[in-house]
Amino acid sequence: MSVSCSILIPAHNEVGYIEPCLEALLASDATGARVEVIVMANGCTDATVQVARSFAGRFATKGWPLSVLNLEAGGKMAALNAGDRTAVHGARIYVDADVVVTPPLIAQLAQVLDTEEVRYASGSPVVQAAGSAFTRAYARFWASLPFCTHGVPGFGVFAVNRAARQRWGAFPDIISDDTFVRLSFTPSERHRVPATYSWPMIEGMAALIKVRRRQDIGVAEVKTEFPELWDNHDPVPEDAKPVWKLALQAPLGFVAFAIVALAVRLPHRSQERWARGR
């Protein structure tokens, strides 16, 4: 058995990304329970709304009704809150619009969430980088860090059951939704399923710096506004390789990673809170 769930997809100008995301969901294995899909198109100036709605018939045939919310204002947290207000099922699976799930992922998440115990869950991320050599080197090194290889990182996809969703109310107006939600649960409450999903690394050094800066600001924001959550970090696993060993194994990746990390600390102009570096 598995639990009925609502799949929530915040989307801001996602033409070219939302199509493979929805195609992958259409190819997902049956869960054995009811599923609905909600796309929260927020502040879109492209054809995201029309493209997403064009999938409605195929999702109806699958038995997973698709609805598209056309929200005038941009902002991921507001979009997530709008999706939560619309969702009919207690279990929620939050999927970024540029993520591509593998067929077993949704069913495995729904099965893990089928309990009255508090459960947070995610899949096993596969970081994709198809651009420049710099981006590929950075992505390989980043994906080898303990945060990605151990625990339940939850970037791009995270899920909670009804009991877990009661852990917080509305999404707060912060940058890092995945960090806030993940740290709202203890390591023993977080579960990683074996099914994978593809998460795209943004392209180019300038874009990597921009996004890394936003990530750092987002994490600091959670630490400042919700300090009680900070104890819920995963402990460093005993079998995790130290950074110096990873650097020896992938020196080019380490150099790329270090360049971005150092550049983030340089003076910079303020940027849009919700801008994406791609």
For 200-242, the pLDDT digits (tens) are 988 888 989 998 898 889 999 999 999 999 999 887 777 778 8
Q: Tell whether 80 is covered by a domain.
A: yes
Q: Tell whether 273 is covered by a domain.
A: no
Number of structural domains (the chain) is 1
Q: Tell whether 271 is covered by a domain.
A: no
Q: Tell whether 131 is covered by a domain.
A: yes
Side-chain-side CA neighbours of residue 251 (13 Å): 1
- Whether 212 and 264 have beta carbons less than 8 Å apart is answered as yes
Render pLDDT for 39-55 as a digit per residue (tens, 0 to 9): 999 999 999 999 999 99
Amino acid at position 24, single letter: A
Per-residue pLDDT, 26: 98
Render pLDDT for 113-149 as a digit per residue (tens, 0 to 9): 999 999 999 999 999 887 889 999 999 998 988 888 8
Q: Tell whether 151 is covered by a domain.
A: yes
Residue with tokens 């009804």: 162
What's the whole-model pTM score? Answer: 0.92
Structural domain containing residue 237: 5-264
* Tokens describing residue 137: 């080197």
pLDDT higher than threshold 70 for residue 69: yes
CATH code of the domain covering residue 167: 3.90.550.10
Q: Tell whether 278 is covered by a domain.
A: no
* Kind and range of the H or E run holding 182: helix 177-182
Q: Tell whether 69 is covered by a domain.
A: yes
Q: Tell whether 216 is covered by a domain.
A: yes
